[in-house]
């Protein structure tokens, strides 16, 4: 059992943030490394979190007319080659299948056999394979728009991996739409970006900046890419969702044409948009503390755990009956139109049991002992308020107050994260100050060293590349809510008409 004053996670965030992140995942039973290089096993507590994220997103997608479908995991190499910029962007990350069976070799071991006529790429993204289907589904403007999403896995052969943030295989959704006009496609692109921002802020309690990517940061083959960017507790940015206006580039590559109202044939306008299990990594790094993860209630794997406390078999029977009845009452309570998710942990592990749930980040820990039964009460601990801040509540009052308490936790987490981002965001117009912000540990004031810098950029890719080479800092986005503003480029000093968000990023 942890001693008072110690932290459950070692090292702490301040001591070694990357290792703290790995240890939080391990301690909270979210996921673990697999026997396959660069891949992860998502454990039930982590997968329940993903299921809740999926459920929220899926409902928002369907409310806009999107339908779910599924497309092959394998993509013919020739499909990727149709769009030159696209294949160049993903070439180094592709896993390729070249054989279709195994046979015994000369030494008795298994060797690949049955060479495929055409190599198959294991899905890194699905624009080309879905485009092939769209080319058959669409013949007239009356067939448009097509609004499709798929929940799937993706393989991108990463050299350096980190669970949830960057793995060789990960889970995601990818949406693909086709439209009769550019205006309609752009409108859909921005609508999906708004949905990602809503998921991040209202469900994950993770404040984001919506913006347009620079040309060098665009999705390969896209005309325009938009993203949501969030600040983690090490002050780096995390791109948590992207939405792409593909213009007619992929329609031309895949032959997606339609006869318009004037009976003339033209190429469709397409979009794609996606988010992934990377959002779980963002949640951990936004809300975690030195005792583990803190789960926002709206996506939490469970809302409350009941912890029966007893010293004898007689007490056990009484406490378990009380806990069971309380669990059934709580499961009848609605929280945002869904039943509360309740766990009962009757393990006889003493104080270690309490710390297990603190590390797992469950919003509410409800202790129930003989004294609580006598008082018809519960002893409540909130994960957002520290580990010793507990209160006694009458049973009926607790049951009635749970939705309000959970919403208060959700709000607290969001406001805490927003305050953190504001504290480490700065507007900079001086080049020396800009470089010092990202490099000097003696910045003045020291508490704002590193983070998000809103600075002018002239639009030159040379300036963008120099800043990246010098500092490891990239343009995260050009904020959508920022209007034009005259100034001087933070790198070269030439004229600029807009500020962009600079940061180091995952």
State the pLDDT at residue 135: 98
Nearest to 323 by CA among 295, 349, 347: 347
Decide the pairing of beta strands 452-456 and 425-427. parallel
Tell if the pTM clears 0.75, that is, is over it. Answer: yes
Q: Is the distance from CB of 151 to CB of 173 less than 8 angstroms?
A: yes
Q: Is the distance from CB of 72 to CB of 120 less than 8 angstroms?
A: no
Domain 304-421 is in which class?
alpha beta
Q: Is the distance from CB of 399 to CB of 333 less than 8 angstroms?
A: yes
Band (pLDDT 50/70/90 cuts) for residue 443 is low
pLDDT in tens, 20-71: 999 999 999 999 999 999 999 999 999 999 999 999 999 999 999 999 999 9
State the average pLDDT over residues 325-340.
96
Average pLDDT over all residues of the chain: 95
Question: If DSSP codes are grouped into helix, strand and coil, which group holds residue 233?
Answer: coil
pLDDT in tens, 62-100: 999 999 999 999 999 999 888 777 778 788 899 999 999
Over pLDDT 90: what percentage of the chain? 90
Q: With 80 as the cut, is the pLDDT of residue 446 above it?
A: no
> Quick count: other Cβ atoms within 10 Å of Cβ 51?
13
Distances (CA, A) of 171 to 59, 357, 490: 18, 26, 38
pLDDT in tens, 281-320: 999 999 999 999 999 999 999 999 999 999 999 999 999 9
Nearest to 453 by CA among 215, 237, 148, 165: 237
State the average pLDDT over residues 484-493.
97
Q: With 60 as the cut, is the pLDDT of residue 5 above it?
A: no
Which residues is 381 bridged to in the sheet? 365, 390
Q: With 80 as the cut, is the pLDDT of residue 107 above it?
A: yes
Band (pLDDT 50/70/90 cuts) for residue 1 is very low
> Quick count: other Cβ atoms within 10 Å of Cβ 172?
18
State the pLDDT at residue 448: 60
Band (pLDDT 50/70/90 cuts) for residue 123 is very high
CATH fourth-level superfamily of 17-287: Bira Bifunctional Protein; Domain 2 (3.30.930.10)
State the average pLDDT over residues 183-212.
98
Please state the domain extents for the chain. 17-287, 304-421, 425-503
All residues at 6 or more sequence positions from 35 whose CB lies less than 8 Å from its CB, including other chains: none
State the average pLDDT over residues 164-186.
97
The Cα–Cα gap between 136 and 130 comes to 10
State the pLDDT at residue 444: 59
State the average pLDDT over residues 144-150.
98
State the pLDDT at residue 498: 96
Q: With 90 as the cut, is the pLDDT of residue 402 above it?
A: yes
State the pLDDT at residue 442: 58
State the average pLDDT over residues 116-140.
96
Q: With 80 as the cut, is the pLDDT of residue 265 above it?
A: yes
CATH fourth-level superfamily of 425-503: C-terminal domain of ProRS (3.30.110.30)
Query: How many alpha carbons lie under 13 Å from residue 500 in its C-beta half-sphere?
Result: 25
Question: If DSSP codes are grouped into helix, strand and coil, which group holds residue 500?
Answer: strand
State the pLDDT at residue 413: 98
State the average pLDDT over residues 256-262.
97
State the pLDDT at residue 389: 80
> Quick count: other Cβ atoms within 10 Å of Cβ 210?
20
State the pLDDT at residue 159: 83
Band (pLDDT 50/70/90 cuts) for residue 148 is very high
State the average pLDDT over residues 353-366.
96
State the pLDDT at residue 4: 45
């Amino acid at each position: 059992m942890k001693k008072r004053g110690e932290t459950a996670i070692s090292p702490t965030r301040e001591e070694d943030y990357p290792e703290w992140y790995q240890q939080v995942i391990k301690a909270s039973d979210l996921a673990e490394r697999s026997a396959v290089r660069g891949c992860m096993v998502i454990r039930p507590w982590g997968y329940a979190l993903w299921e809740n994220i999926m459920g929220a997103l899926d409902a928002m997608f369907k409310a806009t007319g999107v339908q779910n479908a599924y497309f092959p995991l394998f993509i013919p190499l020739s499909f990727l080659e149709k769009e030159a910029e696209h294949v160049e962007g993903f070439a180094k990350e592709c896993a390729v299948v070249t054989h279709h069976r195994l046979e015994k070799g000369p030494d008795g071991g298994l060797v690949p056999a049955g060479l495929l006529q055409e190599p198959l790429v294991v899905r890194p993204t699905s624009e080309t394979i879905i485009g092939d289907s769209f080319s058959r589904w669409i013949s007239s403007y009356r067939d448009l728009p097509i609004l499709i999403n798929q929940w799937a896995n993706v393989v991108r052969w990463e050299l350096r991996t980190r669970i949830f943030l960057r793995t060789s295989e990960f889970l995601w959704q990818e949406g693909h739409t086709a439209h009769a006009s550019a205006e309609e496609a752009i409108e859909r692109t921005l609508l999906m970006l708004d949905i990602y921002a809503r998921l991040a802020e209202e469900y994950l309690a993770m404040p984001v900046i919506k913006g347009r990517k620079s040309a060098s940061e665009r999705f390969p083959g896209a005309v325009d890419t938009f993203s949501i960017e969030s600040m983690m507790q090490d002050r780096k940015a995390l791109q948590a969702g992207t939405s792409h206006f593909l213009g007619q580039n992929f329609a031309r590559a895949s032959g997606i044409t339609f006869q318009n109202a004037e009976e003339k044939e033209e190429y469709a306008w397409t979009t794609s948009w996606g988010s992934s299990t990377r959002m779980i990594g963002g949640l951990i790094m936004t809300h975690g503390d030195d005792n583990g993860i803190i789960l926002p209630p709206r996506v939490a794997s469970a809302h409350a755990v009941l912890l029966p406390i007893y010293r004898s078999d007689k007490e056990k029977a009484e406490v378990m009956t009380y806990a069971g009845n309380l669990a059934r009452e709580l499961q009848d309570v609605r929280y945002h139109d869904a039943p509360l998710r309740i766990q009962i942990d009757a393990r006889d592990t003493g104080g270690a049991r309490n710390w297990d749930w603190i590390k797992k980040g469950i919003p509410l820990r409800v202790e129930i002992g003989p004294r609580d039964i006598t008082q018809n009460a519960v002893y409540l601990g909130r994960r957002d308020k520290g580990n010793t801040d507990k209160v006694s509540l009458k049973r009926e009052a607790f049951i009635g107050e749970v939705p309000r308490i959970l919403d208060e936790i959700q709000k607290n987490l969001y406001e805490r994260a927003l305050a953190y981002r504001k504290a480490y965001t700065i507007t900079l117009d001086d080049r020396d100050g800009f470089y010092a912000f990202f490099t000097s540990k003696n910045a003045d004031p020291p508490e704002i060293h590193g983070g998000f810098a809103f600075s002018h950029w002239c639009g030159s890719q040379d300036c963008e590349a120099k800043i990246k080479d010098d500092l490891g800092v990239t343009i995260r986005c050009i904020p959508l809510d920022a209007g034009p503003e005259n100034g001087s480029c933070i790198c070269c000093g030439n004229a600029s008409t807009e500020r962009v968000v600079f940061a180091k990023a995952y």
